[in-house]
Amino acid sequence: MTGQTETRSAAVIGAGGGIGAAILALLAEDPRYGRIHAFARTGAIAPHPKVVAGTLDLADEASIAAAARAAGADGPLDLVFVATGLLHDGPDMQPEKDWRALDAERLARAFAVNATGPALVAKHFLPLLPREGRSVFAALSARVGSISDNRRGGWYAYRASKAALNMLLKTLSIELARKRPGGIVLGLQPGTVDTALSKPFQTFVADDKLFTPDFSAEKLLKVIEAARPEDTGGLFDWSGERIPY
């Protein structure tokens, strides 16, 4: 992303993860952005003169509200990017291959991270978008969250929680159109990216389909830049192709 110097502001939630860190790095080097608020639950965020680092726990609404207050103190945000997600976490939480593996606690945890958390981020960060002019709220979703694209089954918790996220984003986009007419809400599918989330499932991924975080982040920011008002509420992959819900 290059262009003339402007004074855009952004917030990246999940800036400690692979894709979030790559998004943050690209925004920090973009002359159009003057300040970026970067939030992570744990882990260091690379220092940069433009970056204001903070903490945010998706499971704690109070921390989300505090993060929003900190970001809003500097004025409106032109971009809010939610780069979070949960697919697995050790032997106690793996994608289900059979309905016999369905478990209430694992389902609840997947929904908490993949749907409820981003919804609460929207609750507190959407009011920080400017009342006039273009702005974007984007969240990482997944192709496997598309109901019409589901041909293989399995991965119940991840699929269902990402489908719920897609519905939340669509619904948020309708309200945002009334309150912030220039605002755009996007769900983004980053492709299979070489991060901790995909690491256990890369064996059968072709080399040219396994992306680096930098490659995926660059593509996603291009999708954001190209998004039009009529795209709001949609789910798009890294190449800009709309994915049906």
pLDDT one-digit tens code per residue, 114-134? 999 999 999 999 999 999 999
Q: Write down the residue that tokens 């900190």 correspond to.
A: 70
Task: Write the single-letter amino acid at 29.
Answer: E
Task: Write the single-letter amino acid at 149.
Answer: D
Q: Quick one: pLDDT at residue 45?
A: 87
Sign of the alpha-carbon dihedral angle for 100, 244, 13, 119: negative
Residue 3 forms part of a structural domain:
no
Q: Quick one: pLDDT at residue 202?
A: 46
Q: Quick one: pLDDT at residue 149?
A: 86
The predicted model gives 75-87 an average pLDDT of 94
CB atoms within 10 A of CB 166: 23
Phi and psi, residue 224, nearest 5°: -60, -45
Compute the residue count for the chain.
245
Q: List the domain range (segments joined by +) for residue 149.
A: 8-243
pLDDT tens digits, 39-61: 999 867 888 999 999 999 999 99
Q: Quick one: pLDDT at residue 2?
A: 43
Residue 191 forms part of a structural domain:
yes
**Number of domains the chain is built from:** 1
Q: Quick one: pLDDT at residue 46?
A: 82
Q: Quick one: pLDDT at residue 198?
A: 47
User: How far apart are alpha carbons 52 and 34 in whole angstroms?
Assistant: 11
Residue 1 forms part of a structural domain:
no
Q: For residue 176, give the CATH number of its domain.
A: 3.40.50.720
pLDDT tens digits, 180-230: 999 999 999 998 766 555 445 445 555 555 678 899 999 999 999 999 999
Structure pTM? 0.90
Tokens, residue 189: 């599918």
Task: Write the single-letter amino acid at 195.
Answer: T
Q: Write down the residue that tokens 């991965």 correspond to.
A: 155
Band of residue 63 on the pLDDT scale cut at 50, 70, 90: very high
pLDDT exceeds 90 at position 163 = yes
Tokens, residue 137: 């709220």
Q: Quick one: pLDDT at residue 154?
A: 85
Tell me which DSSP letter residue 244 carries: P
CB atoms within 10 A of CB 110: 27
Higher pLDDT, 5 or 154: 154
Q: Quick one: pLDDT at residue 3?
A: 46
The average confidence (pLDDT) of the chain is 89
Residue 206 forms part of a structural domain:
yes
CA distance readout (Å), 53 to 6, 40, 118, 146: 21, 8, 19, 33
CA distance readout (Å), 1 to 27, 45, 83, 97, 192: 8, 21, 18, 40, 22
For 120, the enclosing helix (H) or strand (E) is: helix 117-125
pLDDT tens digits, 165-192: 999 999 999 999 999 999 999 999 998 7
User: Is 27:12 a contact under the CB 8 Å cutoff?
Assistant: yes
Q: Quick one: pLDDT at residue 196?
A: 54
Tell me which DSSP letter residue 229 carries: G
